[in-house]
Amino acid sequence: MQPIPRHWSRVEARVEKPGRGPVPVPLWGWSAVSLADAAAVARDRAAELTRRGLPGGRSPAEYYPARPVREEILEELPRDGAQEDRHAGDLLAVLTRNRYGATVLSTDTLLIADVDVPLAERRRPGLLDRLLGRGRAADGADPADGADPAAPPALLAEADAAARSRIDAVLGARGDLGIHVHRTFGGYRVLVSGSGLLPENPAAIALLEELGSDPLYVRLCRAQRSFRARLSPKPWRVGMRALGGSWPEGPSDRPAPSRRRRQWVESYSAATTGHAVCRRMSWNGVEPTTAEERRVLALHDRLTGADSGLPLA
């Protein structure tokens, strides 16, 4: 899979904005190789944005799916037989910590789709805010988590049935694929083995859409060339505030977790004990086609507590 950059360099460009004149715009450059390469990318992006100017609103250069995820790398998992000086294609998966503090799996080995169940008239934060840990999560509680107490149970059951119907339709149509269905706090997660589809492949995009994945998640997969799955609970579901902040925290030439971050992670690890992210529901019996698919499936199920029977968070 495409590596997640380890090196980041931040610059500030002064860019013309209609009606306001020059405004400061922070930009990041990135590299999987070196800080010098990251700095060069940052300078090139700043020069391009300065030349183009801002049409108004948020800078399109920093639109989330248009750039690599800027997250702390916790672990890189090499493919079977990969050399120590491996190239990008030798990566099986990467574990990172996202903005609100959860551990996230990125991989192109398995297709992964989270299928949210609409929660009747309840205003939910957008996927972009949830991926970045923004919104009410920082207050320690997300009002979109769980069923709307004012929503009629029949309406909630109907929404759940609609989501499950989409999954069942794919199960019926794609008997050649291994389809693993898990229950999550807010809906379902579907892991698909045997497709061989890379995230940017139009057939992968079509399958994600058939399953009912959020359109922004679909765009993110295509742009990042990886599927993503949260492996640890959302902090506000276990009584904690979101991690917040940004990565890297300190000097970009020495990215390391701050004391505050380390203390938060320690508290979060204790708070998440006794909770699972998803629960295994069904599998259509089609075996994974490769040992690497089996490795990623086993990793996902172990870290999410899929067979633990613990409450979901």
For residue 104, pLDDT beyond 80: yes
The predicted-structure confidence for 4-36, as pLDDT tens digits, reads as follows 999 999 999 888 877 778 889 889 999 999 999
pLDDT > 90 fraction of the chain, expressed in percent and rounded: 63
Q: Tell me, what's the pLDDT at 271?
A: 98
Alpha carbon distances (Å) from 214 to 57, 128, 251, 309: 23, 10, 35, 27
Nearest to 105 by CA among 117, 116, 97, 114: 97
Cα torsion 275, 113, 280, 141 to 10°: value is 20
Least confident span in 1-5, 163-167, 254-258: 254-258
Q: Tell me, what's the pLDDT at 10?
A: 92
**Which one is predicted more confidently, 88 or 51?**
51
How far is Cα 167 from Cα 222, in angstroms, rounded to an integer? Answer: 21
Indicate the average pLDDT of the chain: 85
Q: Tell me, what's the pLDDT at 307?
A: 97
pLDDT bin (cut points 50, 70, 90) of residue 253 is low
Question: How many other β-carbons are positioned within 10 Å of the β-carbon of residue 175?
Answer: 10
Q: Where do the DSSP E strands lie in 18-70? A: 21-31
How far is Cα 213 from Cα 206, in angstroms, rounded to an integer? Answer: 10
User: DSSP state, 175?
Assistant: T
The predicted-structure confidence for 45-68, as pLDDT tens digits, reads as follows 999 888 887 765 554 445 445 688
Cα angle 168-287-116, degrees, rounded to a multiple of 5: 35
Q: Is the pTM higher than 0.85?
A: no
The predicted-structure confidence for 141-152, as pLDDT tens digits, reads as follows 333 345 555 567
How does 183-209 read in b/e, with b if 16+ C-beta sit within 10 Å?
bbbbbbbbbbbbbebbbebeebbebbe
For residue 140, pLDDT beyond 90: no
For residue 188, pLDDT beyond 50: yes
Q: Tell me, what's the pLDDT at 120?
A: 35
In this prediction, residues 124-152 reach a mean pLDDT of 47
The predicted-structure confidence for 261-306, as pLDDT tens digits, reads as follows 999 999 999 999 999 999 999 999 999 999 999 999 999 999 999 9
Q: Tell me, what's the pLDDT at 162?
A: 93
Name the one residue in this structure whose structure tokens are 């269905």: 181
